[in-house]
Amino acid sequence: MSTLREKMMQDLKLAGYAPKTQRTYLDAIGDLAKFCWSPAELGQEQVRAWVDRLTQSKVGPQRLRQHFAALRFLYGKTLGHPELVAFLSWPRDPDRLPAVLSAEQVDRLLKALDLPKYRVFFTTVYATGMRLGEACRLQTGDIDAARGVIHIRGGKGGKERLVMLSPRLLAILRAYWRQERPTAPYVFTSKTGRPLSADVARGALKKACAKAKLGKKVTPHTLRHSFATSLLENGAELRVIQVLLGHASIRSTTRYARVSAGLVKKTKSPLERLPKTG
């Protein structure tokens, strides 16, 4: 007889959820099971008690959304009782502007990466706007030099897309490949030949950030934000940036219009339109 975890795992696979998402949802329901022992036997009041406990804890908005999504899947799909979680509302992140780096700061950061592998890795992230995991899984066959594009496979939500491959990045990648000879089929690998670990890459960037003395926290996603903002300031349309970043909604992309200092500077104040007085 299948356990509740096994049933939910089967349903997640049938629904086409990525392995990472499957683990996240199962871990969230595992936390619920520690709280109540048997999630299948709960009524709405007990589910509400768990949600209340979560919202009063130090769980951030993103993790809270993951818990809620797991609850909706469990009760809506696996157990067939969507009414038990009909009360859930999605928690929102604070409306903060994404941190971005200037071109000079990006240059300092990349130069502070001691090993060529990490320097080329994060140069690729900045040059294409890839997510960290996408860059870690990049394969040589994904690089289409003839068309000047890189094929991103297995992105967020399992979606595929194309990003630009600039002549400069192509030259950098070719020089890197000749020197490093990474284990096929991946472009960036560990010493064991496996795809580069995201945690190892984050650690290298953290050390480089301290060495570059940028005075701000920098994550791999900061380079993605900087990529998008630079494109916007240089005339790229929001719809194009949306496609390059792989955003499902244009709303996720429009925040770069709010953070772009270049666009703000170019926009004339209404004061300039007033008649000049003596």
Structure tokens at 259: 């953070």
The two three-digit tokens of residue 90, written as one number: 């999605």
Q: Over its length of 278 residues, how does the chain's per-residue pLDDT go in tens digits?
A: 579 999 999 999 999 998 889 999 999 999 999 988 789 999 999 999 999 999 888 778 888 999 999 999 999 999 999 999 999 987 776 656 678 899 999 999 999 999 999 999 999 999 999 999 999 999 999 999 999 999 998 666 678 899 999 999 999 999 999 999 999 999 999 989 999 999 999 999 999 999 999 988 899 999 999 998 888 888 888 888 898 898 888 777 777 766 665 655 665 655 456 566 55
Residue 224 CB: number of other CB atoms within 10 A? Answer: 22
C-alpha span between 165 and 128 (Å, rounded): 7
Q: Cβ distance 129 to 228 under 8 Å?
A: yes
Cα torsion through 214, 218, 224, 226, rounded to 10: -30
- Which residues belong to the active site? 131, 156, 221, 224, 247, 256
Question: What is the number of other CB atoms lying within 10 angstroms of the CB of residue 185?
Answer: 13
pTM score, whole prediction: 0.67
All structural domains of the chain: 4-85 (1.10.150.130), 103-265 (1.10.443.10)
Q: Residue with structure tokens 């780096």?
A: 101
78 secondary structure, DSSP code = I
Question: Given the structure tokens 């769980």, which residue do they identify?
Answer: 59
